[in-house]
Amino acid sequence: CKILRCNSEYVAATLHLRGPGRSAAFCTALRSYSLCTRRTARTCRGDLAFHSAVHGIEDLMIQNNCSKEGPTAPPRPRLPAPNPQGFESLDICDYERSFLYKHGRPPGFQHCAAFGDPHIRTFHDDFHTCRVEGSWPLLDNDYLFVQATSSPVAKGSNATVTSKLTIIFKNMKECIDQKVYQAELDNVPAAFQDGSVNGGTRPGGSSLVIWERSPGRHVEIRADYIGTTIAVRQAGRQLSFSIRAAEEVARAFTEEQDLQLCVGGCPHSQRMSRSPRGRSRVPAETARALCREMLPVEDVYFQSCVFDVVTSGDTNFTMAAHGALEDARLFLPDAEKLHIFQ
């Protein structure tokens, strides 16, 4: 039964479909998928994965208004068999491609963000507002170490903001040298600490690249060798961090690496209510009106925006929440989880 081959060909054909022409190409891929399953019907009759695929195709064709008659995509060329050394022939420094080859499906992804006060959105879609001051690890696993340093948002305030971010991409023998990226307020460089913009001289050096999206304000770091993308932004007097990480990478840590804000959120003793209390620097209704211009949905991003503007008096915090929401739109594997309401 070759149903897994049909599955992987369909996934590979639809993996990068985006934009207005997506539906026609999607229907073509579904018809090809259906044709592939019919060809394997005799040998797959008793296979649950086969029957699941057949029913899934029917549902998807109905949902996308696809006709059963029409063009099909030509069969994709088969990938070479792995050699005795592993997946060198496929390029082991392309995580998504290697995962698809090995498992017949694309990898799962998780999203974490830290912005504003700081507010933390964890890999498990929990959302906390923290009063953490000093340096705290956002991530600490086999591949990445990310540390955020916070300081008070204003004199006499309990609220804090991220003023420095340190990201360490740990040495991966086949792909990259260890690389360190560091951003501070008014210094968001488009290069690693050693001045380079990629993973070094190893064969997979180009699988780690840093891009400048907005000079001095927004950089994106793509770590294809671990299926991970990171965004670092500055809005006003604070830095923000967003990550889309492969599930396998996000979970690659031991019990000793238990303090990670992206995994467990803020420690209970460090959590704050998002109902602004004490001295307001901007009236709550004014803050709500400002935040509504950037964030029309009154979710946790909106609530965080209001909290930050009220407690800091800095209207640039509307941009911090907006940037975090934009990153979530790009990075979240499940769009239905984009908004969190608390």
Residue 225 DSSP code: G
| pLDDT computed for residue 75 by the predictor | 52
Q: Looking at per-residue confidence, does 191 or 312 come out higher?
A: 191
| pLDDT computed for residue 21 by the predictor | 62
Lowest mean pLDDT segment, chosen from 27-36, 38-47, 121-130, 300-309: 38-47
Q: How confident is the model at residue 321 (pLDDT cuts 50, 70, 90)?
A: very high
Lowest mean pLDDT segment, chosen from 69-78, 241-250, 332-341: 69-78
Q: Taking 50 as the threshold, does the pLDDT of residue 102 lie above it?
A: yes
Residue 112 CB: number of other CB atoms within 10 A?
27
User: For the residues 233-237, what does the mean pLDDT come to?
Assistant: 92
Q: Taking 80 as the threshold, does the pLDDT of residue 276 lie above it?
A: no
Phi-psi region of 95 (alpha: psi -120 to 50; beta: other; left: phi over 0): alpha
Q: How confident is the model at residue 115 (pLDDT cuts 50, 70, 90)?
A: very high
* Cβ atoms 220, 211 nearer than 8 A: yes
User: For the residues 224-247, what does the mean pLDDT come to?
Assistant: 96
Is residue 208 packed enough to be buried (19+ CB in 10 Å), middle (13-18) or exposed (0-12)? buried
pLDDT in tens, 145-200: 999 998 887 666 666 789 999 999 999 888 999 999 999 999 999 999 999 999 98
Q: Where are the domains of the chain?
A: 2-64, 109-270
Q: Taking 60 as the threshold, does the pLDDT of residue 63 lie above it?
A: yes
- What is the side-by-side order of every strand in the sheet holding 238-246? 208-214, 218-223, 228-235, 238-246, 109-115, 119-121, 127-130, 271-272
Q: Where are the alpha helices (DSSP H) in 20-94?
A: 22-39, 48-63
| pLDDT computed for residue 304 by the predictor | 94
Phi-psi region of 115 (alpha: psi -120 to 50; beta: other; left: phi over 0): beta
Q: What is the pTM of this model?
A: 0.73
Q: Taking 60 as the threshold, does the pLDDT of residue 85 lie above it?
A: no
**Is the N-terminal amide bond of 267 cis, ω within 30° of 0?**
no
pLDDT in tens, 1-32: 777 878 878 877 777 676 666 678 888 888 89
Specify the CATH class of 109-270 in words.
alpha beta
